Amino acid sequence: MKKYIFVTGGVCSSLGKGVAAASMGCLLEARGLNVRMIKIDPYINVDAGTMSPYQHGEVYVTNDGAETDLDLGNYARFTSSPLSRVNSITTGQIYQEVIQREREGRFLGRTVQVIPHITDRIKQRIRAIGDDENVDVTIVEVGGTVGDIESVPFIEAARQMIHELGHSSVISVHLTLVPEVAGGELKTKPTQHSVKELLEIGIQPDILLCRASTPLDEDLRRKIALFTNVEYEAVISAYDVAGTIYEIPFIYHEQGLDELALRKLQIPVPEARLEDWRRVVDVAKNAKRTVRIAMVGKYIDLNDSYKSIDEALFHGSIACESKIELVKLDSEKLEKNGNLAEALANIDGIIIPGGFGSRGVQGMINVAEHARNNGIPFLGICLGMQVMVIEYARNVLGYDEANSTEFAPECEHPVVSLLEEQIDIKNYGGTMRLGLSDSITMAGSLLRTAYGTERISERHRHRYEVSNKYRAPMEKAGLRIAGVTPDGALVESVEWPKHPWGLGVQFHPEFGSKPVAAHPLFRNFIAASLTYMTARSEGS
């Protein structure tokens, strides 16, 4: 019998269900199980592709080009679970699929209703993954909070699966809040009400993860167990960590969460092997060197906007046995009133991530020029690479009006532009170059050095490309083309000449980085930044 774990949340959103679900997956994999992860988002959007980073954080792209919730990034970093568009389920997808089947006459004239038709489709999507012969446990995270009207069909589908398959095959893990009030007292009442909401739907939680600022003492755990009808050992203290989120699996493991879940699912497994994860935490806590990296972007106000890049930089620092201090700078503010020399003083490396729209781009161009002229290690990703090309065209080739047609459609020198077949596209949903595709690295380039191989595969998410019309003048002026598509038609990477480490890539390497296996580009970027830090320190 296949096994399922449903992870739900209560009281309020943003308590960390994604990290909790991913941590459980990590622990089960450490015990030798094959795990699959599914994220359910109750919003009506079909996917996250057109959502603002300010609303929803970053868009995580899978190998097959699905634009998904950032929690799939957590799954990718914490587990080895393969991820594709089938691992992301939204209300929009479910209703779209059911309505399409109704239009095709699949329901033989019957009235189509939420129960059973919508809930049946939800269960079909979940079991299509979980019933695979290679899968031992499927962890399903239900977004939003219990009580939200949008979440009701998904919670009902979970209830039905528990009823149909039994408590030894499906368990409920409920994440809830134990807030701290004036005087430092932790209050259990919100957790009690959250569990009551879940019970009203028909689900008795098997395990509670209680989010709090500090560890729960025995008395609080016993009180919660008493009022929620959950056994004491199943009330897990999910307290704030002072260091890295990669400590969370250890916090759960020390309280027996993985052993408890497997006992309830009647799965006998060997001891967990967490040596690689322990090294990550040890380096994060005890490394002697700290590198200062400036991230210059346009969505700085929301921490989750560049989540995968934040984590990939951390992974790179772990690989280099150092700590990282990430300084986030708003490119728009730098453009309007920023003193670059002052803002970038004591910075060891600069990264410019992806983005859309013209706001703040001039600030990025100014930063790229500063990094190129001052030999500061630089990594440009997607828009960041395009900024490198625009800056080089303006300040080395002398094309003062060089720009991207995304920002200035009528500019004199469109060094970045749409492909011809894209020019008339008006529908922005799913129209980009998305998902995994190959690139060829040039011998002797920083790109080839990082990967150690000629052919690489990385995920893309963009519409605009470096214009081939300007490729030859750029190369003649010294800009190195470090990577191209296999047919040579499109530029995938550029490098600054006579610079210690200045590299831009059109793809998104951050999606392939893990704490136990840092992506080579981020590892080498951090290594170059540490070298620059040492030289700068000795010079001063």
Active-site annotation holder among 253, 382, 465, 495 = 382
Collect all residues with Cβ–Cβ distance below 8 Å to 346 and sequence separation of at least 6: 292
CATH number of the domain encompassing residue 362:
3.40.50.880
pLDDT attached to residue 527: 98
Query: Does residue 444 lie within any of the structural domains?
Result: no
Assigned token pair, 35: 């795990």
CATH number of the domain encompassing residue 108:
3.40.50.300
* Same-domain pairing of 376 and 400: yes
Active-site annotation holder among 26, 369, 510, 519 = 510
Active-site annotation holder among 315, 499, 508, 519 = 508
The torsion angles phi and psi of 520, rounded to 5 degrees, stand at -60, -35
* Same-domain pairing of 337 and 271: no
pLDDT attached to residue 54: 67
Q: What is the pLDDT of residues 134-163, one digit of tens each?
A: 999 999 999 999 988 999 999 999 999 999
508 carries an active-site annotation: yes
Query: Does residue 456 lie within any of the structural domains?
Result: no
Are 349 and 526 in contact by the 8 Å Cβ rule? The answer is yes
What are the b/e assignments for 269-289, b being 16+ CB within 10 Å? eeebebeebeebbebbeebee
pLDDT attached to residue 422: 43
pLDDT attached to residue 428: 45
List 177's β-bridge partners, or say none: 211
d(CA 386, CA 416): 7
Rounded to the nearest 5 percent, the helix, strand and coil shares of the chain are 45, 20, 35
Q: Which residue in 27, 18, 126, 16 sits closest to 75, CA to CA?
A: 18
* Same-domain pairing of 202 and 339: no
The torsion angles phi and psi of 236, rounded to 5 degrees, stand at -100, 135
Largest CA distance in the chain: 80
Assigned token pair, 111: 């009235």
Q: What is the pLDDT of residues 361-398, one digit of tens each?
A: 999 999 999 999 999 999 999 999 999 999 999 999 99
d(CA 514, CA 524): 15
Give pTM, 2 decimals: 0.93
Enclosing domain of residue 348 = 287-418+466-481+495-539
Low-confidence spans in the chain with pLDDT less than 70: 54, 420-431, 540
510 carries an active-site annotation: yes
User: What's 293-320 look like in SS3?
Assistant: EEEEECCCCCHHHHHHHHHHHHHHHHHC
pLDDT attached to residue 95: 96
For the chain, the domain total comes to 2
* Same-domain pairing of 73 and 176: yes
* Same-domain pairing of 261 and 302: no
Which of 252, 278, 304 terminates a domain? The answer is 278
The DSSP result for 228-258, as a single string, is: HT--GGGEEEEEPPSS-GGGHHHHHHHTTHH
Q: Residue 188: in which H helix or E strand, if any?
A: none
User: What's 330-362 look like in SS3?
Assistant: EHHHHHHHCCHHHHCCCCCEEEECCCCCCCCHH
